[in-house]
Structure 1
Amino acid sequence: MARHDVVVVGGGNAGISLAARLRRLGCRDVAVVAPRPEHRYRPLLNYVAGGQAEMPELTRPMRSVIPDGCTWLPHRAVAVHASGREVELDTGERVGYNDLALAPGLEPDLDDIPGLAAAMAAGWSTTAHLDASAEATWQAVRGMTRGRVVFTIPPEPSPCGGTALKPLFLACDHWREQGVLGQMDVHLVTPYSSVLDLPFADRRLEPHLRRFGVTVHHGATVGGLDHVARTVTLRTGAGEETLDDVAHAFVVPHYRAPGWLDAVAGEGTGGLVDVDPTTLAHRTLPRVWGLGDAAAVATRPSGGALRRQVDVLADNIRRHRLGEELRTYDGYTIIPITVDRRRLMLVEFDRDGVPQPTVSWMDLTVPRRSLWAFDRYVEPVVYFRALLKGRV
């Protein structure tokens, strides 16, 4: 049986960035369990869905992003055997560890919304959240000139759920440019009592939703779709509501943690890795750590949140070995939201929803062209050239 000093499960932003940071801190034996042959910079999927990016821009071979000096295990983790400090792979092989960092991300659960899988197979429903559907989302937007459409913000847990507003605003502004916005009946379904349940951000977003004539359904989730009847059923606190004659449903699927995490999940975590949300250490299992979308860190998942989590967790593995006090993660997260095709706002907050701006000299919740350009063009470069190499 192979054994490594640190085993990182996950080949996304969290796993690759953490492995790179650990190497920079001097860890000589890091293994990364990552089954996919490709790595994607997922924030660009929203721009693909808005016709402002193409899939090759966000895709790299997984081998090319595995940090230098790390061992790549191109297999899927299927179980954690914490008593023996082992991770079981889908090959049946077990890999030993001294420290284990779990960052497998979330899985889309198409069956959780009745009719969604069939609607997506028929092409009547698409979403920017899925790799295979982002390009089809833009094709649907570009081909529409009239009719009722439904966009959704997914309930938590969800990877960067608030950014589901990006495809809505990019689509609405495209329809405005084409002169057909007045013939579109746009609906937004949000699980929150306001747009994002963040008053300081909602005040900025609501005027833009009104500008595009968007009808917002608060406190609602999608309860079912029927692509033949062209209906979307909403679940609200008052019961069910049906939207008829829907031309296209831009529905983000619900997400869940991988089932094999049950052994490291705690009661009330919804299947997420049961970590102390401040230190990212597992509450009961020694030398097991968690970060990213599949960890119970009590804040909304985002790439910006991962940057701080990676920094804290990598340092805490070192500190734990030296017997030093562990650092803490404050729950910082961020939601970048385009409000049209050339402006973007940044929503920064902590796990309590309190604003946590990173700069004091500029209000980043004010939509700006510079923020859009940074998010669209600069961030991908930073991601591939610095973040995945442990430099940020």
Structure 2
Amino acid sequence: MAQKLVHEVVIVGGGTGGIATAASMLKRRPALDLAIIEPAETHSYQPGWTMVGGGIFDASVTRRPMASVMPRRAHWIRQAAASFQPDENQVTLSDGTTVAYGLLIVASGIRLAWEKIAGLEQTLGSNGVTSNYRYDLAPYTWQLVRNLRSGRAIFSQPPMPIKCAGAPQKAMYLSCDAWRERGVLDAIDVEFRTAGNALFGVKEYVPALEEYVERYGIALKLEQNLVAVDGPGRTATFSTASGEETVDFDLLHVVPPQVAPQFVADSPLANPESGFVDVDKFTLRHVRYPNVFAIGDAGSTPNAKTAAAARKQAPIVAVNALAALDGAAPVANYDGYGSCPLTVERGKIVLAEFGYDGKLLPSFPKWLIDGTRPRKLSWLLKSEVLPWVYWNGMLKGHEWLVKPEIKANA
């Protein structure tokens, strides 16, 4: 007979959003009966994978045992969630166990849909095909960059939504900088083929990025979506406005299409259009189930899906969820904040910080860091400060620079 568990708060997902929210809630209410459903034995600092692909970080520094980041007072359920029954206030696990909850927080992330590009899965990690979106492939990116001396290097970007919309460009700029340093950039044809209609979605950051596109001699090709890869043949096929185009490559950095996890998309919690958890974009509370919240990539909110967004959302979900447990209305709003540190060269970053509708939301005064221009200080923030803050602050419930503003009437 299937086991039945009961917890006051259940969080589905032990990634960035899930752990940070749990830590924030338990800091506020140490005796809270909170469980985290997560089958993985390791936890990754995914923003570091760009740096691995650029030869700056070793992959091992981006990964730690899950047990080392799991909040001490949380109950860790080492299973995968299989389905939701929100009308019964329960989650069913892959082994048939049901977990009943008083309040549910979905932090299940986003699914990398590699299979949507024909031929890709068979050739990933070989034949010059790589991606910084996977822990085991980021070192291969750097191997390819180190070894390439001439030919064509293509960097692709699929339609939104994707995790960190700047990551495809970061990989490209760091590669170009390495080739320039070695004196081989002029012998390499670099192409950025993106399904979007602009280099970056927030116009204030575009001029600085365009300067680097010109400096590195990158061919910018808009409204091009990668649909097929022939690894052994070293060809990539793109869907364009005028039909399909097949091109040769020596290096292909792929960013896969990204979708809601299937068990979320198939559930009553899903937004009918996107498949992500259907939440109010300000309170992060479900639009139909008042005892359900979502955080990070799992939510239907129209913000940039970045670790920085989850960092800002976690305390907001924490205080709003605790208010819901107490029978009160949400007490804090999320402004859509996300950050994308665009690594334009080794040692300089364009620090894009913005919220809903592209509104600029800088964390620092312009005299200290002008996020629209490449800055060394932004590089130090990305390479030294943020990884430390992630492991020692965010995942421990410390809310430095992201403490939620409680509404005056709350």
Q: Cα distance, 1:283 vs. partner?
A: 0.9
1:272 alignment partner, one of 261, 265, 276? 276
2:331 alignment partner, one of 326, 331, 339? 326
User: What is aligned with 2:407?
Assistant: none
Equivalent residue of 2:189, what SS? strand
1:25 alignment partner, one of 23, 28, 36? 28
1:154·1:161 contact (CA, 8 Å) conserved in 2? no
1:291·1:297 contact (CA, 8 Å) conserved in 2? no
1:155·1:161 contact (CA, 8 Å) conserved in 2? no
**Cα distance in 2 for residues equivalent to 1:122 and 1:378:** 34
2:125·2:140 contact (CA, 8 Å) conserved in 1? no
Q: Call closer, same or farther: CA 1:69–1:325 in 2, change over 3 Å.
A: closer
Letter of the 1:4 counterpart:
H
1:9·1:101 contact (CA, 8 Å) conserved in 2? yes
**Cα distance in 2 for residues equivalent to 1:139 and 1:241:** 28
CA deviation profile, 1:360-386 (whole Å, cap 9, x unmatched): 333122111121122111111111111
**Cα distance in 2 for residues equivalent to 1:40 and 1:247:** 29
1:251 alignment partner, one of 249, 254, 257? 254
- In structure 2, list runs of 5 or more residues that go unmatched: 400-410
Moved more, 199-208 or 323-332: 323-332
Alignment of 1:222-241 (within 5 A): 222-241=226-245
Alignment of 1:155-234 (within 5 A): 155-234=159-238
- In structure 1, list runs of 5 or more residues that go unmatched: none
Moved more, 221-230 or 280-289: 221-230
1:157·1:293 contact (CA, 8 Å) conserved in 2? no
Moved more, 213-222 or 358-367: 358-367
Equivalent residue of 2:358, what SS? coil
Please say if 1:4 is aligned against 2:11.
no
Q: Call closer, same or farther: CA 1:123–1:75 in 2, change over 3 Å.
A: farther
1:2·1:96 contact (CA, 8 Å) conserved in 2? yes
Equivalent residue of 1:131, what SS? coil
Across the two proteins, how many residue pairs are aligned to each other? 390
2:271·2:300 contact (CA, 8 Å) conserved in 1? no
Q: Cα distance, 1:324 vs. partner?
A: 3.7
User: What is aligned with 1:126?
Assistant: 130
Using structure 2 for the length normalisation, give the TM-score.
0.92
User: What is aligned with 2:103?
Assistant: 99
Equivalent residue of 1:281, what SS? coil
User: What is aligned with 1:377?
Assistant: 384
Moved more, 317-326 or 19-28: 317-326
Using structure 1 for the length normalisation, give the TM-score.
0.96
**Cα distance in 1 for residues equivalent to 2:271 and 2:63:** 34
**Cα distance in 2 for residues equivalent to 1:80 and 1:202:** 41
1:276·1:282 contact (CA, 8 Å) conserved in 2? yes
Q: Cα distance, 1:281 vs. partner?
A: 0.8
**Cα distance in 2 for residues equivalent to 1:102 and 1:308:** 16
**Cα distance in 2 for residues equivalent to 1:167 and 1:199:** 20
1:225·1:232 contact (CA, 8 Å) conserved in 2? yes
1:153·1:162 contact (CA, 8 Å) conserved in 2? no
Q: Cα distance, 1:322 vs. partner?
A: 4.2
Q: Give the superposed CA RMSD.
A: 1.3
Moved more, 348-357 or 95-104: 348-357
